[in-house]
A = this chain, B = another copy of it.
């Protein structure tokens, strides 16, 4: 459990116009290069991306008084108005975000402000409210739903509030199996700090190497080990929050009926109500044992039936993941097994960590076999484990090769899962076809619950021109299809700005009024992440 969990972190700063650590970039596997024209037809290589120094940005809208007031709170060295810092904080890592980094003219925040304590965060928020400056909370910068777009709203200026100086293990309570982490602690740093005490958090989303504990909380993250340890929601036992109008310490006891659980008001609030500065989380001993095993189902439908049995029984694997036939084929191609790529079947990866693995494995194996699954050794599962944080590197290589690649996800009940998958796949394919683009849609289930599961789609497309415009239309069709077919607009990517119209459909007008009422109470000036979750025009 060392490097494979990313505990040796890459550099803190990601590649500015792509994913992660440049040293980990990989060319497209040869087999994928062979496969792509078969799937998508002829691909046109895009123009070379612009260099960082070629990007043109507006001068900062902050005046000397603003900068000196901000500097007085956080220290002048922690108010950065250089173009590089502003460009690096101008968005997340959705494919549209990455395509925008290829443009010469970019929209960026007016400064990057890096507070060093909870009190500094609170002071920055009060200051920003009084000076009409919008604030975009920034953790790992890994949003894929436009949560970091530097939208000013009605304000004079907008700053990115980089929270990564709030880093570290504040407290650990080994008896209660709880730890308090500063919100800006990255995934690898959190795990390294806990491992020193013999514990782990065990939250490994694909963004793990860069994302922060506060970001996991604010965006309702879900990690690869969710079958074993639950969503991040389920790990959070308390939070400390700074808002423009007051602080909160929430989550007093592990079971409480003291009114509604206000922790949950902030989990998923994506920085529109306040800034989470500390997170108390459930921890568990670093697992000593691990077992990985692959399975193959004749088709996706029987695989879904198998995963349902596993989820409803409980006490099974730590990780479970079912790829549909298309994803199974591409995964095999990726690791060079092009010969097997078109074999029929839906592959399953299972990973067991912790205690009682033989019993858990035996129970799970029986349930999977009863649903028609057959064991297929360890290698596919090992390969998935080895590459499990590397998907975004592959996307960079595809984009460089001129292949549009993006992901989207949803969730629904078990009884509705196949219908939802069909609806979304059809909407995606039809959308690309309408734009004259060939596409290929892959799907997997990677988060299971007793009552339902997630669906995660990867789309590959050969878009001849205006990929941003084409995707905007295709994504809108897919989102419409998700809601029409009973899915949620997001299982774990969140809402950001990209999903706002669909959030309003999902929770209805009365639900949006609840969000608006909390927003007006805590952030009456509306400075926090304007346009995220709540459409700007709805504010008052």
Residues of A bordering B, CB below 8 Å? 173, 175-178, 219-222, 226, 231, 233, 237, 243, 245-250, 252-262, 264-270, 282, 284, 308, 312-315, 355-356, 359, 363, 410-416, 447, 449-454, 486-495, 499, 503, 506-511, 513-518, 520-522, 533
Contacts and interface: CB of A to CB of B under 8 A. Distances in A.
A272 to B, nearest CB: 9
A314 B234 CA distance: 15
A257 B415 contact: no
A412 to B, nearest CB: 5
11 contacts: A175-B414, A177-B312, A253-B487, A254-B451, A255-B488, A257-B488, A259-B270, A260-B268, A261-B264, A514-B518, A514-B522
A177 B503 CA distance: 26
A121 to B, nearest CB: 14
Nearest to A359: B359
B260 A513 contact: no
A252 B173 contact: no
A177 B450 contact: yes
A50 B256 CA distance: 37
A14 to B, nearest CB: 22
A257 B221 contact: yes
Contact of A510 (B248, B356, B511): B248
Contacts of A410: 253
A410 B256 CA distance: 8
Given A248-B511, A258-B499, A260-B265, A413 B178 contact: yes
Given A260-B268, A491-B256, A282 B450 contact: yes
Nearest to A305: B175
Instruction: Give the number of times this chain occurs in the complex, counting copies.
Output: 2
A355 B260 CA distance: 33
Most chain B C-beta atoms within 10 Å of own C-beta, residue among A243, A252, A411 = A252
Contact of A261 (B258, B268, B416, B518): B268
Contact of A268 (B177, B221, B259, B517): B259
Contacts of A268: 257-261
Contacts of A233: 261
A306 to B, nearest CB: 13
Contacts of A237: 451
B513 A246 contact: yes
A145 to B, nearest CB: 9
B175 A308 contact: yes
A132 to B, nearest CB: 22
Contact of A253 (B243, B452, B522): B452
A20 to B, nearest CB: 22
Contact of A175 (B231, B258, B415): B415
Given A257-B492, A517-B522, 9 more contacts: A176-B416, A220-B257, A254-B453, A255-B492, A257-B268, A257-B490, A258-B494, A314-B315, A514-B518
Contact of A176 (B255, B451, B522): B451
A173 B413 contact: yes
Most chain B C-beta atoms within 10 Å of own C-beta, residue among A355, A416, A451, A493 = A451
Contacts of A315: 314-315, 356
A513 B521 contact: yes
A231 B255 contact: yes
B253 A491 contact: yes
A327 B451 CA distance: 39
A159 to B, nearest CB: 23
A514 B449 contact: no
B176 A515 contact: no
Contact of A257 (B222, B257, B510): B222
B282 A451 contact: yes
Given A258-B490, A261-B268, A246 B510 contact: yes
A112 to B, nearest CB: 26
Contacts of A491: 253, 255-257
A417 B470 CA distance: 58
Nearest to A242: B510
B514 A262 contact: yes
B488 A253 contact: yes
Contacts of A264: 260-261, 264-265
B452 A254 contact: yes
Given A260-B269, A313-B355, A315-B315, A252 B506 contact: yes
A264 B521 CA distance: 19
Contacts of A282: 450-451
A530 B12 CA distance: 52
Given A264-B264, A514-B265, A259 B533 contact: yes
